[in-house]
Amino acid sequence: MARSNKRDISIACFNLLNLGLPGLPIYGKDGWTELEYAAKLAFCESRLAEIDADIIGFQECWDAEALAELFDRPALKDRYDLVARTLSPRGIQVALAARKGMLREEPRWIEELPENARFTDLREARDAEESVTVTIRKFSRPLLRVVVNKAAGSPNIVVYVAHLKSKGPTTLRYDRDNPVLRDNSFIARSVVSHVRRMVEAGAFRAILDDELSGNDRPLVVIGDLNDSSISVSTELLSGNPGYRFFAKSTAGSKSDTGLYSVEKLQQLRSFRHVYYTHIFKNQMESLDHIMVSDSFYDHSSIRKWSFREMNILNDHLTSTEAERRRLGQNDHGIVAARFDWNPMVEEAEKILEEAGSPAVS
């Protein structure tokens, strides 16, 4: 059994499949019945108790009260602090749960793309007549930024929870005089969805650059990014840092702004690739991700935690949609990653000195 340390950290990503109070509409349609809602809370409670994570990032939370009711159930009661909100009018949101006492600073919701990541009036150098203007100013689902700390003697961790635009076709205002909408509506709506997700990933990357540049701040991104780890949008968001594959390699020794996917960290430990968190038309996809800065990367010169393992709870994805609704199951796998407190010697001494604790020989 792996050793345990109070500074060890566990992180999970959990898409709630439109958790909302019973009887309230979701996307203009009937929401959950009382029976479906009770089953949903029971399913979520059992899975959250099973993963037993310190930090849990949620997507698709419609009502903060529903999340509070979930965490008031016996297996979870009085164990977590929640960061969630209900919009008016109601809408889909991300949320977070952190082990009691871990929250630091005031949580911040980020709704608008930063000014320096708005992609308007971009012109190709080779052809001045070719230009791109995207007037997207807001994230489809606002980002959530939270700062947490597990235990004295360990640094604060910045956590972002995200839910980027899905692959599903966007609803567009119909214009019969627009030939694309008239003749190729599905294609147009699909292209807009992909463009929005790329824009959101690029804007999020700009936020992360500002957050990480020139410092050794531990940072975690938890998100339903609606694309695989090797997709253009996800690699843009991660910064695509180098991974160390052999002893003399210097890859991964330091990455100022890059984020390491726990999917790839797990693959480096195993010959098997069973990472899927969503099934659509019988295609297994990995849409849900946990990414970490180099403070969590084994080979980093500033390592503070080492990767232990990654697990995915996805057996329920083989159920039919009707079965999932009856049993309260969600439609995404739940990703959980664990890291052992294992800083480089010089990092450990610096952290203990800053915390006023005696060095351990």
Give all domains of the chain, ordered by start, each with its CATH number: 9-355 (3.60.10.10)
Tokens of 275: 């990472």
Q: List the beta bridge partners of residue 337.
A: 11, 310
Res 129 pLDDT > 80: no
For 84, other C-beta atoms within 10 Å of its C-beta total 22
178 Rama class: left (phi>0) / alpha (psi -120 to 50) / beta: beta
Res 284 pLDDT > 60: no
Indicate if the alpha-carbon torsion angle 144, 145, 151, 155 is positive or negative: positive
Res 252 pLDDT > 60: no
Res 213 pLDDT > 80: yes
- The whole-angstrom separation of Cα 320 and Cα 66 is 24
Identify the pLDDT of residue 55.
98
DSSP strand pairing (9-19 vs 55-61): parallel
Res 100 pLDDT > 90: yes
User: What confidence category does residue 346 fall into, taking pLDDT thresholds of 50, 70 and 90?
Assistant: low
Report which secondary-structure segment, H or E, holds 175: none
Quote the DSSP letter at residue 117.
Answer: G
What length does the chain have? 361
Which residues, in sequence order, are CB contacts of 361 under 8 Å at separation 6+? none
CA atoms within a 13 Å half-sphere pointing along the CA-CB vector of 97: 30
Higher-confidence position of 285 and 30:
30
Identify the pLDDT of residue 254.
63
Tokens of 203: 């804007």
Short-list 167, 110, 158, 159, CA closest to 137: 110
Lowest-pLDDT choice from 43-47, 105-109, 276-280, 287-291:
276-280
- The whole-angstrom separation of Cα 201 and Cα 205 is 6
User: What confidence category does residue 361 fall into, taking pLDDT thresholds of 50, 70 and 90?
Assistant: very low
| Three-class DSSP category at 149 | coil
Identify the pLDDT of residue 1.
41
Cα 144–chain centre separation:
10
- Write the pLDDT tens digit of every residue in 44-96: 999 999 999 999 999 999 999 999 999 999 999 999 999 999 998 999 999 99
Percent of the chain, pLDDT > 90? 45
Report the side by side order of strands in the sheet with 93-99.
80-83, 93-99, 55-61, 9-19, 334-341, 305-313
- The whole-angstrom separation of Cα 361 and Cα 262 is 31
For 247, other C-beta atoms within 10 Å of its C-beta total 6
Res 241 pLDDT > 50: yes
Tokens of 241: 């840092």
- The whole-angstrom separation of Cα 339 and Cα 304 is 9
Identify the pLDDT of residue 355.
66
Pair 160, 144: CB distance under 8 Å: yes
